[in-house]
Amino acid sequence: MHMGSRILLVDDDDMFRESLGLNLGDSGFEVSSINDGEEALRLMKESDPFDLVLLDWKMPSLSGGEVLKRMRASDLNTPVILLTSLSDQIYEEAALQGGAVDFVEKSRSFLILKKRIELILGGSKGETAAASPVSDGTIEYGKLTLNIESCRAFWSGQQVDLTLTEFAMVRCLVENAGKDVRYRELYDLLRGEDFAAGQGTDGYRANVRAFIKRIRRKFERIDSEFDEIETYPGFGYRWADGAAG
Protein backbone atom coordinates (compact mmCIF):
# COMPACT_ATOMS: atom_id res chain seq x y z
CA MET A 1 0.00 0.00 0.00
CA HIS A 2 2.88 2.33 0.74
CA MET A 3 5.04 1.41 -2.26
CA GLY A 4 6.26 4.57 -3.99
CA SER A 5 5.07 6.89 -1.22
CA ARG A 6 7.17 10.06 -1.12
CA ILE A 7 9.00 10.75 2.14
CA LEU A 8 11.02 13.85 2.99
CA LEU A 9 13.79 13.09 5.47
CA VAL A 10 15.19 16.16 7.27
CA ASP A 11 18.20 15.60 9.55
CA ASP A 12 21.57 17.31 9.95
CA ASP A 13 23.35 14.05 10.94
CA ASP A 14 24.84 12.90 7.62
CA MET A 15 25.48 9.29 8.67
CA PHE A 16 22.06 8.83 10.24
CA ARG A 17 20.34 10.44 7.25
CA GLU A 18 22.22 8.26 4.77
CA SER A 19 21.56 5.04 6.69
CA LEU A 20 17.86 5.74 7.23
CA GLY A 21 17.45 6.90 3.63
CA LEU A 22 18.91 3.64 2.32
CA ASN A 23 16.66 1.56 4.57
CA LEU A 24 13.59 3.50 3.45
CA GLY A 25 14.58 3.16 -0.20
CA ASP A 26 15.08 -0.58 0.17
CA SER A 27 11.57 -0.76 1.67
CA GLY A 28 10.02 0.78 -1.44
CA PHE A 29 9.72 4.42 -0.44
CA GLU A 30 10.78 7.34 -2.63
CA VAL A 31 13.04 9.40 -0.36
CA SER A 32 14.31 12.97 -0.59
CA SER A 33 16.96 13.85 2.01
CA ILE A 34 17.66 17.36 3.29
CA ASN A 35 20.07 18.46 6.05
CA ASP A 36 18.56 21.89 6.68
CA GLY A 37 15.16 23.07 7.89
CA GLU A 38 14.99 26.16 5.69
CA GLU A 39 15.79 24.12 2.59
CA ALA A 40 13.18 21.54 3.59
CA LEU A 41 10.50 24.23 3.83
CA ARG A 42 11.46 25.59 0.42
CA LEU A 43 11.32 22.12 -1.12
CA MET A 44 7.91 21.37 0.38
CA LYS A 45 6.50 24.61 -1.05
CA GLU A 46 7.99 24.17 -4.52
CA SER A 47 7.82 20.42 -5.22
CA ASP A 48 4.99 17.92 -5.55
CA PRO A 49 3.41 17.08 -2.19
CA PHE A 50 5.14 14.58 0.05
CA ASP A 51 3.19 11.80 1.75
CA LEU A 52 5.18 12.04 4.98
CA VAL A 53 7.95 14.10 6.60
CA LEU A 54 10.53 12.60 8.97
CA LEU A 55 11.87 15.59 10.86
CA ASP A 56 14.81 15.77 13.27
CA TRP A 57 13.86 17.63 16.45
CA LYS A 58 17.29 19.07 17.20
CA MET A 59 19.01 20.86 14.30
CA PRO A 60 21.45 23.80 14.64
CA SER A 61 19.97 26.39 12.28
CA LEU A 62 16.25 25.71 12.53
CA SER A 63 14.82 23.20 15.00
CA GLY A 64 12.33 20.55 14.00
CA GLY A 65 9.73 22.21 16.21
CA GLU A 66 10.17 25.50 14.37
CA VAL A 67 10.03 23.77 10.97
CA LEU A 68 6.76 22.11 12.02
CA LYS A 69 5.38 25.43 13.24
CA ARG A 70 6.19 27.12 9.92
CA MET A 71 4.75 24.20 7.97
CA ARG A 72 1.38 24.52 9.68
CA ALA A 73 1.43 28.32 9.36
CA SER A 74 1.94 27.86 5.61
CA ASP A 75 -0.89 25.33 5.35
CA LEU A 76 1.56 22.49 4.70
CA ASN A 77 -0.42 19.71 6.36
CA THR A 78 1.78 16.75 5.45
CA PRO A 79 1.92 14.22 8.33
CA VAL A 80 5.10 14.62 10.39
CA ILE A 81 7.01 12.17 12.54
CA LEU A 82 9.56 13.92 14.73
CA LEU A 83 12.85 12.08 15.28
CA THR A 84 14.87 12.76 18.40
CA SER A 85 17.44 11.43 20.80
CA LEU A 86 15.57 13.08 23.67
CA SER A 87 13.28 10.96 25.85
CA ASP A 88 11.75 13.49 28.23
CA GLN A 89 7.96 13.44 27.88
CA ILE A 90 7.80 17.23 27.65
CA TYR A 91 9.29 17.05 24.15
CA GLU A 92 6.77 14.44 23.05
CA GLU A 93 3.87 16.58 24.23
CA ALA A 94 5.32 19.67 22.54
CA ALA A 95 5.64 17.73 19.29
CA LEU A 96 2.05 16.50 19.39
CA GLN A 97 0.64 19.87 20.36
CA GLY A 98 2.59 21.40 17.47
CA GLY A 99 0.81 19.15 14.99
CA ALA A 100 3.09 16.12 14.68
CA VAL A 101 1.47 12.73 14.17
CA ASP A 102 4.09 10.83 16.13
CA PHE A 103 7.37 11.10 18.01
CA VAL A 104 10.07 8.42 17.64
CA GLU A 105 13.43 8.19 19.37
CA LYS A 106 16.36 7.62 17.03
CA SER A 107 17.55 4.71 19.14
CA ARG A 108 14.51 2.65 18.13
CA SER A 109 15.01 0.02 15.43
CA PHE A 110 14.15 0.67 11.78
CA LEU A 111 11.47 -2.03 12.04
CA ILE A 112 9.60 0.06 14.61
CA LEU A 113 9.91 3.28 12.60
CA LYS A 114 8.76 1.48 9.45
CA LYS A 115 5.70 0.17 11.29
CA ARG A 116 4.82 3.69 12.44
CA ILE A 117 5.19 4.96 8.86
CA GLU A 118 2.96 2.20 7.51
CA LEU A 119 0.32 2.96 10.13
CA ILE A 120 0.22 6.56 8.97
CA LEU A 121 0.26 5.87 5.24
CA GLY A 122 -2.00 2.84 5.23
CA GLY A 123 -4.01 2.96 8.44
CA SER A 124 -3.73 0.51 11.34
CA LYS A 125 -5.11 -2.98 10.95
CA GLY A 126 -8.03 -4.33 12.91
CA GLU A 127 -11.60 -5.39 12.34
CA THR A 128 -14.44 -3.12 13.41
CA ALA A 129 -16.43 -4.61 16.26
CA ALA A 130 -18.23 -2.78 19.06
CA ALA A 131 -17.50 0.68 17.68
CA SER A 132 -17.33 1.56 14.01
CA PRO A 133 -16.25 4.54 11.91
CA VAL A 134 -19.06 6.80 10.75
CA SER A 135 -19.22 8.47 7.35
CA ASP A 136 -16.92 11.35 8.27
CA GLY A 137 -14.04 9.05 9.20
CA THR A 138 -14.45 9.05 12.98
CA ILE A 139 -15.19 6.49 15.66
CA GLU A 140 -17.48 7.69 18.43
CA TYR A 141 -17.95 5.65 21.60
CA GLY A 142 -19.32 7.33 24.68
CA LYS A 143 -17.18 10.35 25.52
CA LEU A 144 -14.46 9.20 23.12
CA THR A 145 -14.04 10.38 19.54
CA LEU A 146 -11.28 9.01 17.30
CA ASN A 147 -10.49 10.77 14.05
CA ILE A 148 -9.10 8.00 11.86
CA GLU A 149 -7.56 10.18 9.15
CA SER A 150 -5.65 12.51 11.48
CA CYS A 151 -5.06 9.91 14.25
CA ARG A 152 -6.40 12.35 16.85
CA ALA A 153 -8.32 11.36 19.98
CA PHE A 154 -10.82 13.48 21.91
CA TRP A 155 -12.41 12.86 25.31
CA SER A 156 -15.49 14.96 26.08
CA GLY A 157 -14.42 17.26 23.24
CA GLN A 158 -10.87 17.81 24.56
CA GLN A 159 -7.91 16.51 22.59
CA VAL A 160 -5.90 13.72 24.21
CA ASP A 161 -2.26 14.03 23.15
CA LEU A 162 -1.68 10.42 22.08
CA THR A 163 1.24 9.28 19.97
CA LEU A 164 0.42 7.25 16.88
CA THR A 165 1.30 4.06 18.77
CA GLU A 166 -1.00 4.97 21.65
CA PHE A 167 -3.77 5.97 19.25
CA ALA A 168 -3.56 2.59 17.47
CA MET A 169 -3.76 0.79 20.81
CA VAL A 170 -6.81 2.77 21.94
CA ARG A 171 -8.48 2.17 18.59
CA CYS A 172 -7.91 -1.57 18.90
CA LEU A 173 -9.43 -1.65 22.39
CA VAL A 174 -12.44 0.48 21.42
CA GLU A 175 -13.18 -1.53 18.29
CA ASN A 176 -13.36 -4.55 20.58
CA ALA A 177 -15.12 -2.80 23.47
CA GLY A 178 -16.37 -5.24 26.08
CA LYS A 179 -14.04 -7.98 24.83
CA ASP A 180 -10.73 -9.00 26.35
CA VAL A 181 -7.76 -8.19 24.13
CA ARG A 182 -4.58 -10.21 24.70
CA TYR A 183 -1.22 -8.60 25.44
CA ARG A 184 0.17 -10.30 22.35
CA GLU A 185 -2.61 -8.99 20.11
CA LEU A 186 -1.99 -5.42 21.24
CA TYR A 187 1.74 -5.76 20.76
CA ASP A 188 1.42 -7.45 17.35
CA LEU A 189 -0.79 -4.57 16.20
CA LEU A 190 2.07 -2.17 16.80
CA ARG A 191 5.20 -4.21 16.15
CA GLY A 192 4.27 -6.91 13.62
CA GLU A 193 3.25 -10.51 14.17
CA ASP A 194 5.68 -12.79 16.04
CA PHE A 195 8.06 -9.92 16.86
CA ALA A 196 9.99 -10.83 20.00
CA ALA A 197 10.74 -8.23 22.66
CA GLY A 198 11.98 -8.14 26.22
CA GLN A 199 13.30 -11.06 28.22
CA GLY A 200 11.67 -14.44 27.85
CA THR A 201 8.79 -15.48 25.61
CA ASP A 202 6.40 -13.01 27.28
CA GLY A 203 8.76 -10.06 27.56
CA TYR A 204 6.45 -7.90 25.45
CA ARG A 205 3.92 -7.71 28.32
CA ALA A 206 6.02 -5.12 30.16
CA ASN A 207 6.02 -2.97 27.02
CA VAL A 208 2.23 -3.17 26.71
CA ARG A 209 1.73 -2.37 30.39
CA ALA A 210 3.94 0.71 30.02
CA PHE A 211 1.88 1.92 27.05
CA ILE A 212 -1.40 1.39 28.90
CA LYS A 213 -0.10 3.26 31.95
CA ARG A 214 0.83 6.25 29.79
CA ILE A 215 -2.51 6.17 27.95
CA ARG A 216 -4.48 6.10 31.19
CA ARG A 217 -2.46 8.99 32.59
CA LYS A 218 -3.17 11.13 29.53
CA PHE A 219 -6.93 10.52 29.77
CA GLU A 220 -6.89 11.12 33.52
CA ARG A 221 -5.38 14.57 32.98
CA ILE A 222 -8.66 15.48 31.27
CA ASP A 223 -10.99 13.35 33.38
CA SER A 224 -9.79 12.26 36.83
CA GLU A 225 -12.54 9.61 36.91
CA PHE A 226 -11.50 7.95 33.65
CA ASP A 227 -11.65 4.17 34.11
CA GLU A 228 -12.65 2.81 30.70
CA ILE A 229 -9.50 0.69 30.26
CA GLU A 230 -9.93 -2.40 32.41
CA THR A 231 -7.21 -4.93 33.26
CA TYR A 232 -7.61 -8.67 32.86
CA PRO A 233 -4.63 -9.88 34.96
CA GLY A 234 -2.34 -12.24 33.09
CA PHE A 235 -4.30 -11.87 29.87
CA GLY A 236 -4.57 -8.29 28.66
CA TYR A 237 -7.00 -5.36 28.65
CA ARG A 238 -10.43 -4.33 27.49
CA TRP A 239 -12.34 -1.11 26.88
CA ALA A 240 -15.33 -1.12 29.24
CA ASP A 241 -18.57 -2.26 27.62
CA GLY A 242 -21.48 0.16 27.91
CA ALA A 243 -19.31 3.26 27.45
CA ALA A 244 -21.56 4.23 24.57
CA GLY A 245 -24.53 4.60 26.84
Query: pLDDT tens digits for 76-100?
Result: 888 888 888 765 556 666 677 677 7
Residues 6+ apart with CB under 8 A from 75: none
Dist CA 10 CA 130 (whole Å): 40
Asked whether the beta carbons of 120 and 102 are under 8 A apart, the reply is yes
pLDDT for residue 131:
55
pLDDT for residue 133:
47
State pLDDT tens for residues 118-149.
877 765 433 334 454 444 578 888 899 998 87
Q: Measuring CA to CA, which residue among 203, 243, 108, 204 is closest to residue 164?
A: 108
Dist CA 83 CA 64 (whole Å): 9
The residue type at 11: D
pLDDT for residue 193:
43
- CA distances (Å), 13 to each of 73, 80, 87, in order? 26, 18, 18
pLDDT for residue 211:
87
Asked whether the beta carbons of 212 and 229 are under 8 A apart, the reply is yes
pLDDT for residue 154:
93
Q: How far apart are the first and last CA of the chain?
A: 37
Q: Where are the domains of the chain?
A: 6-122, 138-239
Question: Which CATH number, 3.30.1540.20, 1.10.275.10, 2.60.120.10, 1.10.10.10, labels domain 138-239?
Answer: 1.10.10.10
Dist CA 119 CA 190 (whole Å): 9
Q: Which residues of the chain register pLDDT less than 50? A: 1, 124-130, 132-135, 192-196, 244-245
Q: In CATH, what number does 6-122 get?
A: 3.40.50.2300
